[in-house]
Amino acid sequence: MSNVTVTDPTAVAAAMALRHRAEVLRQLAHRLNTLRVLTLYVDAGVDTWMGPSPQACADACRAHRSRLLAQVDELFVTARRFDTRAAEMGR
């Protein structure tokens, strides 16, 4: 008796597509993680800001940074979920 496994070509294609999407999401997350905008808050404040509220500017930069980093984390989570689904399709 042979141990040959018959694989559904549609499932293989779907799994490959999920793996590709996961890789694209990881690449995007890595690119976002290296953006200069993530360190903008360092340059915001009373020493560099000429306006009504240097602290408000620094706070806004930190808040935007936090939201961007949360989205980066979500991209990594989604990529892992796609990888898991792709692996399950291969079973």
**Per-residue pLDDT at 90:** 74
Region 46-58 average pLDDT: 77
Q: Which amino acid is at 68?
A: L
pTM score, whole prediction: 0.80
**Per-residue pLDDT at 91:** 67
Range with the poorest average pLDDT among 17-31, 33-47, 61-75: 33-47
CA dihedral 83, 86, 88, 91 (to 10 degrees): -130
Region 65-90 average pLDDT: 95
- Assess whether pLDDT exceeds 80 at residue 85: yes
